A and B are shown apart, each in its own frame.
Chain A
Amino acid sequence: MYRYDEFDHQVVRERVAEFSDQVARRLSGDLSEEQFRPLRLMNGVYLQLHAYMLRVAVPYGELTSGKMRRLAHIARVYDRGYGHFTTRQNIQFNWPKLSDIPAILRELAEVEMHAIQTSGNCIRNVTTDAFAGVAADEIEDPRPWAEVLRQWSTFHPEFTYLPRKFKIAISGGAQDRAATFFHDIGIRLVRAESGDVGFQIIVGGGMGRTPRVGRVLNGFVAKSEILSYLEAILRVYNLHGRRDNKYKARIKILVDALTLEGFRAEVDAEWDRIRGSVVEVPAEEVERIGAYFADPDWQALADNPPELAAARSRSAAFNGWVSANVMAHRVPGYAAVTVSLKPVGGIPGDATADQMDALADFADRYSLGALRVSKEQNIVLPFVRQDQLYALWQALVAEGLATANKGLISDIIACPGLDYCALANARSIPLAQMISERFSDIARQHDIGEVTLNISGCINACGHHHVGNIGILGVDKRGEESYQLVLGGDATQTAAIGDIAGPGFTAEGVVDAIETVIGVYLAQRQTGEPFIDTYRRIGLTPFKEAINAAR
């Protein structure tokens, strides 16, 4: 993975020193809260419902065992023994003391981590496919480009005070595992007919109170011109994006207002002015960065080694875990493993310090020290030998980390909700727990098959409810928590925003409604047809009718 050079180290060290001084001045009273608030937000420090929250960037979700151990250490020493992995591949600590944050940031800087641009109206942490560099369907590894974008966007002087926050995702797979259609800018590596690899640029996607599927702004931008093209988009947004109303300030609203064609004309005009200028990233710099993501020394191995086949036939539990949580790897004999942070009755995305340490140890032992945070709030071990899968699984079982539910109904994506969040209207976590209890039978989950379930505790949609095959939005209905069900959302390249399935429910009611929805699916599905395909074939009506009949 990428290693800091002296410049990176210096930038982060200087920022830690600067913010440490600002914290000291706040504590002494030299800075008022009004003065301090924008400064702390630029450093990932929020004040939530119960305490401060520190959001630490995990650039494009990539971690080493050393970084994971440091996160565990921070959780143990400065927090309450756990952390929460987010849908933007970051980690949040829920209970840090303000007075400890300078020390935490120093500890992070030592392992090349920070909290810069994890909040505020700037370009946030660039996200990517958690299987980048290992997925069999990949056109090219997006991580070097994610790193180019990280360097370009970090402290970019022109884009530090945008109209609103700005999120970029990049994906290299034929399958989009980075939700590129739901970001301010989505970037997909594509191969042109000429054989050249470049970028498809998608703009104006987003969730929140105005959900939008992003639209293709440019079908092919050459690698050598990517930064000037992005710079042109950001300039048009920075100039014309609304600043008078935070609910209308995201780029999706500007694209709506100008129309896609109008927006494209503005971008192209700006691009013409700066194309090929100093803004572009030199090819040798791309090569230098790319070298950090070079392949490890793969062993010459064959797929499906006999020990794997034997273990799968010996243990049904192991076999179930392999079917759900182990993904094909582009290199024979290897596998990419998803470690679920969604145990039955657990809190989606939470991991204790001990679990983080265990994951770091497993990464060292089985995955060349590498880990990833997925946008589904799980951890990926990307470089596991297939002949070591059984040993890894046994180790995970002992730590309670072997839940075999990746991509299944209990692999729930949920925001912290009203249990933690100052913005939330309803709780998300207890509902996630109730649903995972209701569907706890792992054999039944495997029978139901692939389905995404997302819960947000308010319209800001941090739990991505708009794009869950089954989505739940928590609202405050005259002082009571109420949950709206939405169906048919899709975060992949077949992007769709879910349809509202009628009036809201109580928490218990929505769990029953999900049961009804699954019942309709099971009765109507054709052989091998996943939930979303059945939904698309039969539409909302049969689901809605069944839900209403059961009310």
Chain B
Amino acid sequence: MSRQIVSANRLTDGLVVFRTAAGTWTERAEDARVYSVEEAEIEVAAASREGTVVVGVYAVDLEEQGSAPSRLRERIRATGPTVAYGPAAVISPRRAAGA
């Protein structure tokens, strides 16, 4: 039986959020409520009415075992870029020069 979580982007800052059991939104995919496909469809319809809170509500398939999304795109979306970026990713001068 396929399981899904419900996701969207938060309107104000665009960050990825997930629907909780309390009907709120969380940035942590692991805190998302897990639905059956039928339940998720109902929840997506309900959450889509929160147009001043979130954008682009949809259901995300989970792996058969575990709680991670099944598609790579959704796993990256849930956990962020797979590469370090910004000030945390600055390459040391020595390395940058290929020395």
Chain A residues within 8 Å of B, Cβ to Cβ: 26-29, 32-33, 47-52, 80-82, 94-99, 317, 343-347, 350, 352-355, 397-405, 410, 418-420, 424, 427, 429-430, 433, 440-442, 445, 479-481
Q: Which residues of B contact A347 (CB under 8 A)?
A: 83, 85, 89
CA separation between A405 and B86, bound complex, in Å? 21
CA separation between A410 and B91, bound complex, in Å? 15
CA separation between A404 and B82, bound complex, in Å? 27
Nearest-CB residue, chain B, relative to A480: B72
Nearest-CB residue, chain A, relative to B52: A29
Q: A442-B98, A481-B72 are in contact. Are A402 and B82 (CB under 8 A)?
A: no
Identify A403's interface contact among B13, B52, B90, B97, CB under 8 A. Answer: B97
Q: Which residues of A contact B85 (CB under 8 A)?
A: 80, 82, 94, 347, 350
List 4 tightest A-B contacts by C-beta distance, closest first. A442-B98, A343-B96, A52-B14, A343-B91
B83 & A27 in contact (Cβ 8 Å cutoff): no
A98 & B81 in contact (Cβ 8 Å cutoff): no
A433 & B13 in contact (Cβ 8 Å cutoff): no
CA separation between A401 and B93, bound complex, in Å? 7
A50 & B81 in contact (Cβ 8 Å cutoff): yes
Asked if B16 is at the interface (CB within 8 A of a chain A CB), the reply is yes
Q: A50-B81, A346-B89 are in contact. Are A440 and B13 (CB under 8 A)?
A: no
Interface size, chain B (Cβ < 8 Å): 34
Q: Which residues of A contact B97 (CB under 8 A)?
A: 317, 397, 400, 402-404, 442
A419 & B82 in contact (Cβ 8 Å cutoff): yes
Q: Which residues of A contact B92 (CB under 8 A)?
A: 400
Q: Which residues of A contact B56 (CB under 8 A)?
A: 33, 47
Q: Which residues of A contact B12 (CB under 8 A)?
A: 27, 97-99
B98 & A418 in contact (Cβ 8 Å cutoff): no
Asked if B23 is at the interface (CB within 8 A of a chain A CB), the reply is no
A28 & B52 in contact (Cβ 8 Å cutoff): yes
Q: A52-B14, A317-B99, A402-B96 are in contact. Are A479 and B82 (CB under 8 A)?
A: no
B51 & A33 in contact (Cβ 8 Å cutoff): yes
B86 & A97 in contact (Cβ 8 Å cutoff): no
Asked if B28 is at the interface (CB within 8 A of a chain A CB), the reply is no
Q: Which residues of B contact A26 (CB under 8 A)?
A: 11
Asked if B76 is at the interface (CB within 8 A of a chain A CB), the reply is yes
A50 & B16 in contact (Cβ 8 Å cutoff): yes
Q: Mark B21-62, 1 if CB is under 8 A from A, else 0.
A: 000000000000000000000000000000110011000000
Q: Which residues of A contact B72 (CB under 8 A)?
A: 418, 479-481
Most buried by A among B9, B71, B85: B85
CA separation between A197 and B15, bound complex, in Å? 51
Q: Is the interface of B mostly helix, strand, loop or mixed?
A: loop
Q: Is the interface of A mostly helix, strand, loop or mixed?
A: loop
Q: How far does the Cβ of A22 sit from chain B's closest Cβ, in whole Å?
A: 14
CA separation between A404 and B96, bound complex, in Å? 9
B93 & A32 in contact (Cβ 8 Å cutoff): no
A50 & B77 in contact (Cβ 8 Å cutoff): yes
A398 & B91 in contact (Cβ 8 Å cutoff): no
Asked if B66 is at the interface (CB within 8 A of a chain A CB), the reply is no
Q: Which residues of B contact A481 (CB under 8 A)?
A: 72
A99 & B13 in contact (Cβ 8 Å cutoff): yes
Q: How far does the Cβ of B28 sit from chain A's closest Cβ, in whole Å?
A: 14
B52 & A27 in contact (Cβ 8 Å cutoff): yes
Q: Which residues of A contact B91 (CB under 8 A)?
A: 343-346, 400
CA separation between A95 and B85, bound complex, in Å? 12
B52 & A80 in contact (Cβ 8 Å cutoff): no
CA separation between A424 and B87, bound complex, in Å? 25
Nearest-CB residue, chain B, relative to A441: B98
B52 & A82 in contact (Cβ 8 Å cutoff): no
CA separation between A403 and B95, bound complex, in Å? 9
Nearest-CB residue, chain B, relative to A83: B86
A419 & B83 in contact (Cβ 8 Å cutoff): yes
Q: Which residues of A contact B86 (CB under 8 A)?
A: 80-82, 350, 352
Q: How far does the Cβ of B53 sit from chain A's closest Cβ, in whole Å?
A: 10
CA separation between A343 and B13, bound complex, in Å? 31
Q: Which residues of B contact A350 (CB under 8 A)?
A: 85-86, 89
CA separation between A404 and B63, bound complex, in Å? 45
Nearest-CB residue, chain B, relative to A84: B85
Q: How far does the Cβ of B61 sit from chain A's closest Cβ, in whole Å?
A: 11
Q: Which residues of B contact A29 (CB under 8 A)?
A: 51-52
Q: Which residues of B contact A317 (CB under 8 A)?
A: 97, 99
B81 & A397 in contact (Cβ 8 Å cutoff): no
Jot down 24 A-B pairs with beta carbons below 8 A, ordered by A. Answer: A26-B11, A47-B9, A47-B55, A49-B76, A49-B77, A50-B14, A51-B15, A97-B13, A98-B13, A343-B91, A343-B96, A344-B91, A344-B98, A346-B89, A347-B83, A353-B87, A399-B93, A402-B97, A404-B98, A418-B76, A429-B83, A430-B82, A442-B98, A479-B71
Identify B87's interface contact among A48, A82, A405, CB under 8 A. Answer: A82
Q: Which residues of B contact A51 (CB under 8 A)?
A: 9, 13-16
Q: Which residues of A contact B81 (CB under 8 A)?
A: 50, 419-420, 429
B76 & A402 in contact (Cβ 8 Å cutoff): no
Q: Which residues of A contact B80 (CB under 8 A)?
A: 50
CA separation between A167 and B84, bound complex, in Å? 32
Q: How far does the Cβ of B80 sit from chain A's closest Cβ, in whole Å?
A: 6
A433 & B83 in contact (Cβ 8 Å cutoff): yes
Q: How far does the Cβ of A427 sit from chain B's closest Cβ, in whole Å?
A: 7
Q: How far does the Cβ of B50 sit from chain A's closest Cβ, in whole Å?
A: 10
Q: How far does the Cβ of B45 sit from chain A's closest Cβ, in whole Å?
A: 15
Identify B14's interface contact among A47, A398, A480, CB under 8 A. Answer: A47
